[in-house]
Structure 1
Amino acid sequence: MTDIKSPKKLIEVALPLDDINVASTNEKQPFTRNHPRSIHIWWARRPFVTARAILFAQLVNDPGYQRELGYGVNKKEAEIKREKLFQIIRDLVKWENTNNEEVLNRAREAIWESWRETCHLNRNHPQAAELFNPDKLPAFHDPFAGGGAIPLEAQRLGLESYASDLNPVAVMINKAMIEIPPKFAGQKPVGPLPEGEKQPDMMEDWAGAKGLAEDVRRYGHWMREEAFERIGHLYPKIKITPKMVAERPDLKAYEGEELTVIAWLWARTVKSPNPAFSDVDVPLVRSFVLSSKKGKEAWVEPVIEGNTYHFEVRMGKQPADAIAGTVERTGATCIMSQTAMPFKYVREEGKAGRMGERLMAIVAEGNRGRVYLSPTEEMIQVARKAQPEWKPEHNLPVNPRDFKTPNYGLNTFGDLFTPRQLVALTTFSDLVQEAREKAIADAKAAGLPDDGQGLAQGGSGATAYGEAISVYLGLATSRWSDMSNSVCSWNSTNQNVRALFARQAIPMNWDFVELSPFSKVGPWFSSVESIFNAFASIPANTASYSLQVDAATSDHAQNKIVSCDPPYYDNIGYADLSDFFYIWLRRSLRNIYPALFGTMAVPKAEELVATPYRHGSKEKAETFFMDGMTRAIHNMAEKSHPAFPVSIYYAFKQSETKEGSTTSTGWVTFLEAVIQAGFSIDGTWPVRTEREGRSIGIGSNALASSIVLVCRKREANAESISRRDFQRQLREEMPEALETMIGGQTGQTPIAPVDLAQAAIGPGMAIFSKYEAVLNQDGSKMSVHDALVLINRAITEYLSPESGSFDADTQFCANWFDQYGWSAGPFGEADTLSRAKGTSVDGVREAGVVESGGGKVRLLKWSEYEADWDPTRDQRTPIWEACHQMIRRLNNQGESAAGELLAKMPEKGESIRQLAYHLYTLCERKKWAEEARAYNELIGSWHAIVAASHEVGHAGEQHGLDF
């Protein structure tokens, strides 16, 4: 297929990266509502807006492609068209535009326009009918679908989407997001309204999957009421008695009332190692604080009486001499004898089956917030009455890094739940099947045709519809298990439950929370409501499919657009973790998807995660991962649609990001695997999803949490070149690519300096990877590591003031800064350097950028510059001075004031920005964090500064200023 005309896509040239990164970070905030992630928990999902932007840029032609093909489009026209595409991306990545059809249609129209252009270019290709149908977009495939962000956004953009994964939990999540909703788009709800609710208007809009979502809510309500009838006696209310009020006057307002219990707080116990207290069950508690909210503080006091103790809830701040807790980082302490109990002792007790639990406090619903109560014997006895009929016996993995409970005798998944939690979860799981039967009957009664085929058989009638409803109810039950297990803890700050999967591990927890499924805080129905709300951001617009397939052998990528977020090394053991949910999904949904839930646990042998405990050693695990990943990527290279690049997300571990660079262990090896698989790498875009704000310093959190690799299949007849030729091409081609990335002559928000080194790898690796090999002088093949060294050197040379049209004063200042920073240096050295650069110490002093005297020369910091500086009245204005005056104005007065200053010297704008990039790179190398932050913030604010400069009426004075 070497004769295919494949225009470069936007993602291979330029992106409004900062806009994407800011929106991606915003989406990760907890206040983002009606989010697809609420369907079910998955680990390390990419932000949905990131996937949306990357896919769009992967699908549309870069406007500069006509020049490549010899068309009469000049550079300026291409830049104007590119800016229109940037604006579409800026609108797409705003979460509030997720369902904005005007914005989405503009994106879809741009995709179609590019596709028809590509089809026209290839209209005479022998496979034109198969590959280039101008009336049908190619389908999309994600072979590592995971939490489904990328397939869902492909569907939103109008593509038939295929999501595949080995993990049945991931497959189930993707079915719920992309496969099931389009099947029943426009379907009116068939379930009966909950008692007391009004019948919706006959003209109710049931477009998309709104009707299905409403039925999930209605049958979820039925399940809750039915569950309460069966197990409500295990969750009794608590009556506030006169005796309680006598002991706690703050309860007077509730005297005689029965309060609904939100949660029971338990402490695990082990026997005291002190022989004098060998019968004492010592509580293991991190903190006895129940509420740290100002004015509503509460805590638990272990009241010791002889050789026994009991718990009492106290209101107010915990006194300084009270027992803060019994467990610290080094181990536990017996509250009776103060005997130390090292974790080794606690582990031995747990493994011997001698770990128990004691009720520590009760949390109830009050009119004005939480009501904390001391434990009662009645509540303890009710909890002990729970007798589950079933308990998951599947063993937890022997993975001490991520699974801590086996160290303490909690060896099976069933051990992670109290008997009452097991009763609740099995009850709701079983009710999923009853809801299924009820929904099928109601659908038939409502007139929905029935073909007798379920979802697994491709059915679309009443049977399949009833099963669809039960799928979401099964997911709701599985999702609720994250909040209903004995590894959950109480958040004393927010006064609510802290769910199990705060991170990708199952830790050991000492004092834990047992929620009521029927209260107002974290009840089972809250999971149903979350799923109901998630439907608001699910497109349900194009038939799509979710499949259980191995990425290394799948045929589903054939002639499809491919984007994926593969697992990275041993960062997350998805299969081990998802067993926690699989046990509940299997119980609820096995009769609907028997093949998907046919195994007792999630398949693990083929999972591409380098887990040493599974493969015998770290080396064998790494070999397994890289061999499997190379096969999977090779499969993509061979089968993906030849007119489109493939985008691959590479997720960095925190340990790999330090000092503004990445270690070679993962990143370099992954690049090697991609190249060995047959890809050339045309772009590398750093996607920042975890930062807290726009102000980026340097250090471990400064780098992107992911890099998107943009890949094309390497030509089969690719030749080898010499190291000298590779370096020559870097010198010739890198400057234009870097100019585009930093926003030169375009309107895009420039890439922040902290991201430039990673983004610039793309055009450099595009040169390196398009050849069969780059040969060193001795005939050996150049490694990716050595190529990266040369690419970074080319970036540094481009950004150096000596490489551009910088004035002599600026060249002197840059070199002096490199040597001395803001410190003073010898006059003699300064004199020699200034003469070499074509200026003088007196000259730069007159320019107002250095201080000279006493045989010393020192650069002035921006904070020392003139406050009322005006470049129109300055007789000598080096770029160095202009850049630092911009920083001073930005820091002291903000973007608008900086824009006013830039409007007075628009011809210096591009040079100011390039100098800022150079100085950031220099500061990063020297680990000058504060200085680096200043230059990074100037670049990050550049687009707003330029916009502000327009507003003051100087748009006509641009003279090369870029927007």
Structure 2
Amino acid sequence: MTSTNNPKKKLIEVAIPLEAINKASAREKSIRHGHPSTLHLWWARRPLAACRAVLFAQLVDDPASHPEQFPTDEAVEEERQRLFRIIEDLVEWENSTKDEVLGRARAEIRKNFPDGLPSVYDPFSGGGSIPLEALRLGLPSEGSDLNPVAVMIGKAMIELPSQFKDQKPAHPGKPERLHYRGAEGLAEDILWYARALSDKAWEKIGHLYPQVALPKKDGGGEGTVLAWLWARTVASPNPAVRGAHVPLISNYWLCNKPKKSVWVKPVVSGTDISFEVHNGKPDDEDAVAAGTKAGRGANFRCFLTGDAITADYVKAEGMAGRMGWRLLAIVVEGKGGRRYVAPTKEHEALAFSEKPDWRPEYPLSQHPQYMSVTNYGPTNISDLFMDRQTIALNTFMGLIPEVVRDIPDSAYRKVMLSYLVLGVSRLANRQSTSTFWHTSRENVEQVFAMQALPMRWDTAEGNPFSSSSGNFIGQVEYLAKAVAALPCSDQGGVERQMDAQNVDFSGFVISTDPPYYDNVPYADLSDFFYVWLRKGLAGTYPDLFSTMLVPKQEELVADYKRHGGKDEADSFFLEGMTTVMRNMATQGRPDVPAAIYYAFRQGEVDESGFSVKGWATFLQAIVDAGYSIGATWPVRTELVGNLKKNKNALATSVVMACRPRAADAETISRVEFIRALRRELPAALKEMHRASIAPVDIPQASIGPGIAIFSRYASVIERDDNPMSVKTALQIINEELDQYLSSQEGDFDPETRFAVTWFTQHGYEKGVFGDADNLARARGISVDDVRHAGIVESSAGRVRIYKREELDEEWDPETDRHLTVWECCQYLVRQHQLDGLSHDTALLLKKFGSDKAEAVKDLAYVLYEISDKRRQDRQEATAYNALVTDWTELTRQAAAIHDTVGDRQIKLDI
């Protein structure tokens, strides 16, 4: 084991291949089949690629820690690049089950721990990403969470599969293959017993799911129903039609695709409303899109009288239990795709013809922010399910013990029961009044399409025995594919329920993704699944499902609703998180830094650029616990396509590498702290620019070297002799970051420096010539110089910067006799916006030459900061951020180009 007196620096504390990790993490969001996230919904999973890379970098020494092996800077860099290549292979999704790739990573970790592999612990395991990836890397893995839903998901991911590693399936049918690896046999059994369960359920309740007659235009005969589309109703507020119920319909679309349009048309006869299904483009698309909506929220209009149905009226009717349901249309499985038919009275009546013998009569959380459904009447979880949906879920759940009864191995029987119950819980996410019909994908959209339970006015009731997204077998197929791809280990993993404040971290490597201050209280949302899991598993895991609902008061989030106010919630979070962090710092393995994730979002920075309370409070807990933060890495977690639409709404997981602060850490003054920042921060920021960290990520990434300086001291004393808070330290770090970016302007040509200052003051708007003249003279040039450079227009006593779309289409940097960094940057941004990572974009960059290219990147960082602070220039910020995000790949492509221009060959090393 490495000496703990002078522990060697790990790779995560020095450098990681951030771009490769970000790319793989973002791509992972689009992977469905076989991905562990499809085993069961959890709301905030860290990307597996990031967790895998972070764990590896936590455990492997940085080459600079071994001067005897790597005596020169060149040798250190060469070895670092070798480790980077291992990570770059490791993060690719396709490699997550490849023994050769995983074997190289595991061998590297073993090399660093010759006395035995360390155990990894995550006390906030949530969706289980970190413990799972520790297991994949061959490490003993443990996780815990207060939330029993999270714990059950964790058991299904890291604990149960390893118990039956390489085992053949136990079902009495014919095996699908000759050889089984890992959890493949388990996965096959899950699907086999799920089909048996579905067959038994059909025998019992199949009569509630009849076929429906298809019209001749759709081929005639009968078809299997995929979904029944319903709308809520309230009594009309107009006394003239007293008692008549009218539908609350968000829109009339059933399918809205470029080549397929289907919509519902209400038909009124007296006070009776019926519905017709129409194909083709409607005459008034706006009316179809509006439905009976009359504005935002719960405002509608009465279809019978035209009267306004106000939000207050809707709420009152809902709270009084007077809402009803009307069937709008039926989706049928037809030849060549979905078919839509008009509702029938028989189908509408059948849905309410039987009552369930058990309902989940447990109170819904009343959280106003995340449970807005409760504003309209629902008070119990049972209110989120129609009668037929409740009957179906009850039936599937109740038949599971019978289906697995003949499995001879009691341990395996328990495991099979566990996965089938998870399958029914997964089905509940598609069998609820909180689902809706997705009109472009033509499927039943899940309840938790967002991290909340909003009110749905129209809902889609899927047929659990169909082939559509509301069916049971489809849900279990996702689950089984995820299980088949899970890593299995001879030593296995452990997942348990525990309050993080009570965990003993002795001897563990800690890698964790804690709750984020006042972010979503998942305990409130988890009740939706908990009541079904408890119904099916309380006898199997009595300790885990001992409470009526998910524990909430102890959940470590700053929820003002639970704690009686924002100050009280803030204190609860800070004290609790500090306790956890202190235990981690004092008990965890001292030779390996802890990795702590924080889901940072742009909304956590105010207009002045200072971080708001959540981020500062979280960091305060880490520092107060005795940790020194050695590095921070911004790991992106959104799809690349989404990023390019809105780079400024970027969601970033900031990963911090933390070690216990030195026992003899000294106390310094505010002035000394600022002096240390100015001495150390510029070099770190230059390294970030060199690594092409996206401008939108720089404020978070710069926290690393900045807060590392702050947190390595016992205390930083203010002028009034009080200790400096983390929030103040962050403000100072941000100020130094701004100064650094401003100082970069000094390296640009004078025309570019003029343009930067003019852009800061005016953007692309016109300004007075006299002001421009003074600005130019201060830089030793004239306004004419800037005009001749092609940067500004000057006429009639006014000056303005050219917009990119106004720039010369024929411009060539090689023939421009007055070439400036500003021009190069703007032309390159324009080319990148038009063509992205194309040959033409790379060729343009190559023509600049290496020195000018680096200056262009520096300018993009500067202009991003200026634009991001000006609300009207957020699109500008997006353009500069996109360019730098693609910079590494762009320079790689440019370096690979060998074009001949005139009589000379372009051969630049950018």
Q: If the length of structure 2 is used for normalisation, what is the TM-score?
A: 0.91
C-alpha separation in 2, matches of 1:39 and 1:499 = 14
How far the C-alpha of 1:223 sits from its partner, in A, is 0.6
Could you tell me which runs of 5 or more consecutive residues in structure 1 were left unpaired when the two chains were aligned: 117-133, 442-461
Look up the match of 2:10: 9
Partner of 2:418: 471
| Cα-Cα RMSD | 3.2
Counterpart of 2:102 in structure 1: which amino acid?
L
**3-state SS, counterpart of residue 576 of structure 2:** helix
Relative to structure 2, which stretch is displaced further, 466-475 or 635-644?
A: 635-644
Q: State the one-letter code of the partner of 1:794.
A: E
Tell me: CA distance 1:856–1:288, structure 2 relative to 1, closer, same or farther (3 Å): closer
Equivalent position amino acid for 2:595 in 1: S
Q: Residues 365, 945 of structure 1: CA spacing in aligned structure 2 closer, same or farther, 3 A cutoff?
A: closer
* Percent identity (aligned): 46
How far apart are the structure 2 equivalents of 1:868 and 1:266? 59
Match of 1:359 in 2: 327
- Match of residue 100 from structure 1: 98
Q: What is the CA-CA distance between 1:386 and the residue it aligns to?
A: 2.2
Is this contact kept in 2: 1:908–1:961, CA < 8 A?
no
Alpha-carbon distance in 2 for matches of 1:318, 1:855: 54
What do the CA deviations read for 1:156-209 (whole angstroms, capped 9, x no partner)? 12211111001111000000001111111110001022xxxx6545xx221100
Question: How many residues align structurally?
Answer: 897
Distance apart, 1:109 and its partner CA: 2.9
Aligned to 1:752: 694
Deviation at 1:700, TM superposition (A): 5.1
Q: Find the aligned partners of 1:65 and 1:672 in 2 and give their Cα distance.
A: 30
CA distance in 2, matches of 1:36, 1:532: 10
State the match for 1:36 in structure 2.
36
Cross-structure match for 1:233: 207
Q: CA deviation at 1:553?
A: 1.2
> What is the aligned counterpart of 1:496 among 432, 443, 446?
443
Residue 63 (structure 1) aligned with residue 63 (structure 2): yes
Please say if residues 659 and 698 of structure 1, whose CA atoms lie closer than 8 Å, have aligned partners that are also in contact. no
- Between the aligned partners of 1:660 and 1:437, the Cα distance in structure 2 is 64
Superposed counterparts of 1:532-931, under 5 Å: 532-541=480-489, 542-555=491-504, 557-652=505-600, 655-657=603-605, 661=609, 663-690=611-638, 692-693=640-641, 701=649, 703-743=650-690, 748=691, 750-800=692-742, 806=748, 810-821=752-763, 837=779, 877=819, 879-880=821-822, 882-884=824-826, 886-887=828-829, 890=832, 895-903=838-846, 905-927=849-871, 928-931=873-876
CA distance in 1, matches of 2:898, 2:466: 60
1:932 and 2:896 equivalent? no
Query: Deviation per CA, 1:91-137, whole angstroms, max 9, x where unpaired?
Result: 33322222233332232233333x24xxxxxxxxxxxxxxxxx2422
Q: What is residue 120 of structure 1 aligned with on the other side?
A: none
Gapped regions of structure 2 (runs ≥ 5): none
Q: Does 1:75 align with 2:73?
A: yes
2:702 maps to a residue whose letter is A
* Structure 2 partner of 1:23: 24
Does residue 481 (structure 1) correspond to residue 428 (structure 2)? The answer is yes
- What is the distance in 1 between the residues matched to 2:608 and 2:853? 26
Offset of residue 501 of structure 1: 0.9
1:277 and 1:489 mapped to 2: Cα distance? 29
Match of 2:231 in 1: 267
Relative to 1, partners in 2 of residues 1:875 and 1:503: Cα closer, same or farther, differing over 3 Å? closer
Partner of 2:45: 45
How far apart are the structure 2 equivalents of 1:724 and 1:415?
60
Q: Answer whether contact 1:694 1:940 (CA < 8 A) is retained.
A: no
CA distance in 1, matches of 2:773, 2:304: 76
Q: Which amino acid aligns with 1:569?
A: Y
Task: Give deviations 1:418-472, integer Å, cap 9, x for gaps.
Answer: 2211111111111222233222x2xxxxxxxxxxxxxxxxxxxx21111111111
**Cα gap change, 1:157/1:303 in structure 2, threshold over 3 Å: closer, same or farther?**
same
Instruction: Find the aligned partners of 2:608 and 2:55 in 1 and give their Cα distance.
Output: 27
Letter aligned with residue 736 of structure 2: A
1:780: Cα distance to partner?
2.7
Q: Please state how far the C-alpha of 1:72 moved relative to its aligned partner.
A: 5.9
Name which of structure 1's ranges 823-832 and 268-277 shifts more when overlaid on structure 2: 823-832
Alpha-carbon offset, residue 830 of structure 1? 5.9
Pair 1:692–1:714, CA change in 2 (3 A): same
In 1, the alpha carbon distance for the partners of 2:479 and 2:79 equals 40
Q: Distance in 1 between matches of 2:520 and 2:679?
A: 41
The SS at the match of 1:389 is coil
TM score, norm. by length of structure 1: 0.86
Change (3 A) 1:875 1:371: closer
SS in 1 for 2:502: coil
The whole-number CA distance in structure 2 between the counterparts of 1:727 and 1:607 is 37
Choose 763-772 or 902-911, whichever is displaced more. 902-911
C-alpha spacing 1:751/1:428, structure 2 compared with 1 (3 Å): same
Q: SS at 1:292's partner residue? A: strand
Which of 327, 349, 352 pairs up with 1:384? 352
Measure the CA separation in 2 of the matches of 1:870 and 1:387: 76
Deviations 1:211-239 (A, max 9, x none): 11111011111111111111111212224
Q: Kindly state the Cα deviation for residue 876 of structure 1 after the two structures are TM-superposed.
A: 6.2
CA distance in 2, matches of 1:925, 1:524: 50
- Report if aligned partners of 1:311, 1:360 keep a CA contact under 8 Å in 2: yes
More deviation in 640-649 or 53-62?
53-62
Letter in 2 for 1:169: V
What is the Cα deviation at residue 365 of structure 1?
A: 1.4
**1:549 corresponds to which letter in structure 2?**
M
Give the Cα–Cα distance (whole angstroms) in 1 for the partners of residues 585 and 436 of structure 2.
46
Three-state SS of the structure 1 residue aligned to 2:160 is helix
SS at 2:651's partner residue? coil
Which AA in structure 2 matches 1:41? L
1:890 CA displacement: 4.4
Residues of 1 paired with 2:513 and 2:486: CA distance?
20
**Equivalents in 1 of 2:616, 2:663: separation in Å?**
23
Equivalent residues in 2 for 1:58-207 (5 A)? 58-66=58-66, 73-113=71-111, 115-116=112-113, 134-193=114-173, 199-201=175-177, 204-207=178-181
SS of 2:89 mapped into structure 1: helix
- The corresponding residue for 1:446 is none
**Partner SS state of residue 37, structure 1:** helix
| Correspondence 1:283-298 to 2 at 5 A | 283-294=247-258, 296-298=260-262
Q: Please tell me whether residue 371 in structure 1 is matched to residue 315 in structure 2.
A: no
1:124 paired residue number: none
- With over 3 angstroms needed to count, the CA separation of the structure-2 counterparts of 1:936 and 1:363, relative to structure 1, is closer
SS of the aligned residue for 2:405 comes to helix
Deviates more, 1:269-278 or 1:213-222: 269-278
Q: Secondary structure at the match of 2:139?
A: coil
> Amino acid of the residue matched to residue 944 of structure 1?
E
| Partners of 1:525 and 1:592 in 2: CA distance | 23
Q: Please report how far the alpha carbon of residue 856 of structure 1 lies from its aligned counterpart in structure 2 after TM superposition.
A: 6.9
The letter for the 1-side match of 2:729 is A
Cα distance in 1, alignment partners of residues 843 and 134 from structure 2: 42
Give CA deviations for 1:478-534 in whole Å, capped at 9, x if unaligned: 010011112222222222212211112222222322222111112111111011111
The match for 2:370 among 399, 402, 406 is: 402
Q: In the alignment, which residue of structure 1 is the partner of 2:395?
A: 427
Distance of 1:715 and 1:957 partners within structure 2: 56
Of 257, 279, 291, the residue aligned with 1:325 is 291
Aligned counterpart in structure 2 of residue 250 of structure 1, from 183, 192, 217: 217
Query: What residue in structure 1 maps to residue 890 of structure 2?
Result: 945
Higher mean C-alpha displacement, 947-956 vs 752-761: 947-956
Are the structure 2 counterparts of residues 612 and 892 from structure 1 closer, same or farther at C-alpha, using a change threshold of 3 Å?
A: closer
In 2, Cα distance between the equivalents of 1:953 and 1:613?
A: 64
Once residues 479 and 175 of structure 2 are traced to their aligned partners in structure 1, the CA distance between those partners, rounded to angstroms, is 22
CA change 1:926–1:605 in 2 (3 A) is closer
Change (3 A) 1:830 1:495: closer
SS in 1 for 2:263: strand
